[in-house]
């Protein structure tokens, strides 16, 4: 009886398998186009970090002839349990990808491992530093935008607007990148609070709460909506988002509709203000297109070389889509006076008249970050160890 | 002849739900604008199309086969061990704990210790549910759910606290283990033949112990009617504890494999929902150990193949999960109908 049963099982499974595999004859079309891949940590239409990358990939398709894109989004432990960067890279390489962009700091080890396996493919790990710390295989490059400037501008806009003198920052997870961005917001805010607003005597309140990841994962991270509500309840009236999704703006919009005077500043994506224009002071955004395009054309021409690029704004016009890697668009909620002061601040940042990473600057525990009379070099800023003195919140 | 006809009717009763599920899946696909045939084809090539895909599918299969074998024991004893997800996680935590103590150790010493320690961890975590159930009268479903939450929270605490990376806590997990402590895999592939052998061994042992041992018989007795079993002299409490311990040890083994084969570190959602999938597999198997291996293979294939849906057809790959869910619902529904028909 038992063997009978097994035989039956096999006789059902095998023809079924054959039928399915017959239907699955792979179509063999020679991919003449230059294929590049994009692996995103979150959903491609998040109005944030991932959408900024998605838009850049679409631009490449438009601007560089004969290119094709293969992509996968939501590669994170909550959305795709058990799926690794190595697996996904195999898939994209199998689809003909010659260049693969991976867009989360969390993907460092996975990208390096995939690159070791697929040595003929160029991998770009974004916001990575494997090239800097020399752990990267030869076919891995890193680039990142100098969002520090965008965050300084955002901080300034917040300080120019706040009426309670209390600003809050919705932080993702704690690492060197998020620390330096938080510090940049604080430095920009402090500068404009003391200079443009002339409030040297009343210290600006600046608090950060880390939710634990770049976006909400129920049960794993703090709920950003609750965190933002908490900020407003405690008296902050401007919340800046450090996470990849738009909760800060959405909550501010709800509160404003209920008659509260509050504002928010989203992050990452040029269209980030969309969800609540009326409370949006503006958005610092990444323009990945120039860097993506450069990589693709260099690989096509066989001229790509490993590098770690920290690409800044084009100070002639920080919103030039062809040349500026980081930009800022004013929001509808920014006042006319605020706009004037902010433009002056941006001009001074660009001319070098203001360098906010000039000493003396101290970390939270009093340790020196930048000496008096000195300015921080790239490596010091990149590997920021703590939040700055004056910021409330955890450094580690 | 009556035997085979009986078998045929039973087979058709088992296959009918699959066909109904397939039909519903096709309707779902048509409704979402996906080409059904192509979708199934891509699911298949996405999970078995290349040797590396087959390998990845078998990596998942190992976890699902072992955890469903363990769950078969608790189900046989009439227990809904929902806490299995947390038991996997605690297995991974214990595995990482052991690995951290043997950072410089060779694999021959390190890997067996990691595996055993993970099994101890999983078993202990399962016993907590059992003790609450037996001595505290806490329903195992609630107890299990509670312990799942605690395991998740504790895991996150470890990753962001005491076990965080040198550069700071991150959701990508703890430091990667030294390569000596990775379970050896086939060259260029991610699958470990040793793990497959262990999974087959577990399946066989569970199958035999349910069929041919006093322990298996007594578990069945408990599962059918615990009071009657007790009155007839079956030591229900020790048996119940042993059932949970065995299931927990299986879950812990899966936890160890996830750490030393798949991720090489502890990550936040390390259990990957495999415990819950295991429950679905056992439910689908009608508690028959022979079905576990093929069903686990099917679920593994859908899990791995569904990323191909997005790459190839631009279909959201969560559709794979929807298909699995539909299948289980339909099968359970059909079983209910079947029982109703039979009882008439």
Question: What is the model's pLDDT at position A359?
Answer: 87
Distance from CA of A77 to the nearest CA of B (A): 6
Averaged pLDDT score across all residues of chain B: 90
CA separation for the pair A238, B324 (Å, rounded)? 45
Sequence-separated (6 or more) residues with CB below 8 Å from residue B19: none
Rounded Cα gap, residues B43 and B64, in angstroms: 18
The whole-number average pLDDT for the span A289-304 is 96
Distance (Å) from the alpha carbon of B225 to chain A's nearest alpha carbon: 27
Mean pLDDT of B302-316: 82
Tens digits of per-residue pLDDT, B112-151?
999 999 999 999 999 999 999 999 999 999 999 999 999 9
| Cα-to-chain-centroid distance, residue B5 | 33
CA distances from A365 to A205, A239, A368, A383, B334 (A): 18, 25, 9, 17, 65
Two tokens at B107?
Answer: 């694999």
- Beta carbons of B171 and A213 less than 8 Å apart: yes
Question: Which residues of chain A lie closer than 8 angstroms to B273, CB-CB?
Answer: 81
At A230, is the secondary structure helix, strand, or coil? helix
B274/A9 touch (CB, cutoff 8 Å), yes or no: no
Q: What are phi and psi of B128, to 5 degrees?
A: -60, -45
d(CA A283, CA A272): 6
Chain A hits for B267, CB-CB cut-off 8 Å, are 77
Q: Given this model, what pLDDT does residue A2 score?
A: 46
Per-residue pLDDT tens for B193-247?
Answer: 999 999 999 999 999 999 989 999 999 999 999 999 999 999 999 999 999 999 9
Q: For A240-293, write each residue's pLDDT tens digit.
A: 999 988 999 999 999 999 999 999 999 999 999 999 999 999 999 999 999 999
Q: Give me the mean pLDDT over the B305-323 stretch.
A: 80
- pLDDT at residue A386, as a whole number: 95
pLDDT for the residue numbered B340 = 79
Residue A276 DSSP class: G
Structural class in CATH, domain A147-285+325-382: alpha beta
> Is the separation of the CB atoms in A231 and A158 below 8 Å?
no
pLDDT digits (tens, 9 = 90+) for B147-206: 999 999 899 889 988 998 887 777 778 999 999 999 999 988 889 999 999 999 999 999
The 10s digit of each residue's pLDDT in A352-371 is 999 999 989 999 999 999 99
Domain spans, chain A: 34-145+289-311, 147-285+325-382
Mind telling me how many Å the CA of A335 is from chain B's nearest CA? Answer: 38
Q: Which of B3, B171, B263 sits opposite A106 (nearest CB)?
A: B171
Q: What is the pLDDT of residue B13?
A: 66
* CATH match for A34-145+289-311 among 3.90.180.10, 3.90.1150.200, 3.40.50.2300, 3.40.50.300: 3.40.50.2300
Q: Which residues on adjacent β-strands are paired with residue A329?
A: A283
Strand partners, A171: A210
Return the residue in B273, B311, B314 with the most chain A beta carbons within 10 A, the one to mutate for interface testing: B311
Of the candidates A178, A218, A393, the residue with the CA atom closest to the CA atom of residue B156: A218
> With bands split at pLDDT 50, 70 and 90, how would you rate the model's confidence at B17?
confident
pLDDT for residue B52 is more than 90: no
* Mean pLDDT within A312-338: 96
- Pairwise pLDDT comparison (A290 vs A215), residue with the higher score: A290
Assess whether pLDDT exceeds 80 at residue B7: no
A147-285+325-382 matches A34-145+289-311 in CATH topology: yes
pLDDT of residue A11: 57
- Looking at residue B15, its pLDDT comes to 73
């Amino acid at each position: 009886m038992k063997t009978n049963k097994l035989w039956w099982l096999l006789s059902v499974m095998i023809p079924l398998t054959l039928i399915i595999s017959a239907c699955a004859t792979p179509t063999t079309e020679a991919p003449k186009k230059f294929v590049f891949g994009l692996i995103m940590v979150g959903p491609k239409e998040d109005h944030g970090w991932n959408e900024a990358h998605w838009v850049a990939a679409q631009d490449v398709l438009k601007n560089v002839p004969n290119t094709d894109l293969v992509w996968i989004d939501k590669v994170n432990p909550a959305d795709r349990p058990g799926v690794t960067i190595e697996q996904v890279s195999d898939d994209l390489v199998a689809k003909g990808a010659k260049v693969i962009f991976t867009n989360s700091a969390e993907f460092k080890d996975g990208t390096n491992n995939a690159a070791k396996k697929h040595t003929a493919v160029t991998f770009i790990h974004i916001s990575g530093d494997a090239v800097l710390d020399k752990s990267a295989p030869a076919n891995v490059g890193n680039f990142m935008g100098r969002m520090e400037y965008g965050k300084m501008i955002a901080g300034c806009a917040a300080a120019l607007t706040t009426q309670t003198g209390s600003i809050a920052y919705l932080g993702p997870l704690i690492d060197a990148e998020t620390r330096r961005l938080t510090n940049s917001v604080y430095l920009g805010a402090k500068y404009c609070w003391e200079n443009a607003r002339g409030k040297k005597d009343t210290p600006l309140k600046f608090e950060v709460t880390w939710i634990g990841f770049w976006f909400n994962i129920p049960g794993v991270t703090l709920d950003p909506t609750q965190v933002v509500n908490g900020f407003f309840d405690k008296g902050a009236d401007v919340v800046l988002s450090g996470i990849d999704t738009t909760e800060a703006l959405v909550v501010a919009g709800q509160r404003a509709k209920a008659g509260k005077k509050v504002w928010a500043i989203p992050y990452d994506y040029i269209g980030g203000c969309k969800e609540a224009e009326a409370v949006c002071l503006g958005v610092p955004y990444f323009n990945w297109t120039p860097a993506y395009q450069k990589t693709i054309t260099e690989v096509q021409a066989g001229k790509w070389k490993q590098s770690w690029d920290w690409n800044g704004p084009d100070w002639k016009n920080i919103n030039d889509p062809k040349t500026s890697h980081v930009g800022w668009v004013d929001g509808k909620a920014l006042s006319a006076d605020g706009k004037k002061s902010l433009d002056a601040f941006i001009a001074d940042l660009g001319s070098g008249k203001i360098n906010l990473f000039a000493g003396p600057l101290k970390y939270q525990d009093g340790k020196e970050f930048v000496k008096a009379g000195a300015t921080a070099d790239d490596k010091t800023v990149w590997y920021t160890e703590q939040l700055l003195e004056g910021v409330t919140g955890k450094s580690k | 002849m009556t035997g085979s006809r009986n078998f045929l009717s039973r087979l058709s009763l088992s296959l009918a739900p699959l066909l109904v599920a397939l039909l519903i899946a096709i309707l779902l696909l048509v409704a979402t604008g996906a080409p059904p045939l192509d979708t199934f084809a891509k699911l298949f090539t996405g999970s078995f199309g290349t040797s590396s895909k087959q390998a990845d599918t078998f990596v998942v299969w190992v976890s699902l086969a072992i955890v469903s074998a363990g769950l078969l024991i608790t189900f046989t004893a009439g227990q809904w061990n929902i806490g299995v997800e947390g038991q996997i996680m605690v297995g991974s935590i214990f595995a990482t704990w052991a690995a951290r103590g043997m950072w410089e150790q060779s694999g021959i010493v390190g890997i067996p210790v990691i595996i055993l320690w993970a099994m101890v961890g999983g078993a202990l975590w399962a016993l907590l549910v059992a003790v609450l159930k037996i001595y505290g009268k806490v329903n195992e479903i609630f107890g299990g759910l509670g312990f799942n939450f605690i395991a998740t929270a504790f895991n996150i605490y470890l990753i962001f606290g005491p076990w965080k990376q040198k550069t700071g806590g991150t959701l990508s997990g703890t430091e990667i283990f030294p390569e000596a402590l990775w379970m050896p895999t086939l060259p260029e592939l991610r699958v470990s033949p040793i793990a497959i052998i262990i999974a087959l061994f577990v399946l066989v042992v569970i199958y035999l112990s349910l069929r041919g041992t006093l322990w298996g018989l007594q578990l069945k007795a408990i599962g059918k009617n615990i009071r009657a079993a007790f009155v007839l002299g079956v030591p229900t409490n020790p048996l119940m504890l042993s059932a949970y311990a065995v299931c927990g040890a299986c879950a812990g083994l899966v936890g160890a494999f996830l750490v030393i084969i798949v991720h090489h570190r502890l990550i936040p959602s390390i259990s990957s929902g495999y415990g819950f999938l295991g429950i679905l597999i056992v439910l689908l198997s009608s508690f028959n150990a022979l079905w576990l291996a093929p069903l686990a293979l099917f679920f593994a294939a859908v899990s791995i193949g569904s990323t191909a849906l997005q790459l190839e057809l631009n279909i959201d790959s969560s559709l794979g999960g929807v298909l699995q869910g539909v299948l289980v619902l339909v099968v359970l529904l059909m079983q209910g109908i079947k029982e109703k028909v039979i009882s008439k």
